[in-house]
Amino acid sequence: MNRRPFHDSQNAEEQIGHSQDMDLENLVMTYSALVYSVIKGYFDSESDIEECVSDVFVKFWRAMDRYDPERMSLKNYLALIARHTALDRYRKMMSRQEILPLEEAELFESGSVEETVLDHLEREDILHALEQLDQDERDIIIKRFYYYKKIKDIAVEMQCNISYVKNRIHRGKCKLKRILIQKAKIETVIDNISETED
What are the chain's domains?
9-95 (1.10.1740.10), 104-197 (1.10.10.10)
Give pLDDT, residue 17: 47
Residues 87-101: pLDDT tens digits? 888 777 766 554 444
**Coil, helix or strand at residue 6:** coil
**Coil, helix or strand at residue 111:** coil
In the predicted structure, residue 167 carries a pLDDT above the cut 90: yes
> Do residues 151 and 172 touch, judged by C-beta distance below 8 A?
no
- Please provide the average confidence, as pLDDT, over all residues in the chain: 74
Best mean pLDDT range from 69-83, 106-120, 170-184: 69-83
Give the lowest-confidence range in 12-21, 25-34, 40-49, 119-128: 12-21
Give pLDDT, residue 183: 74
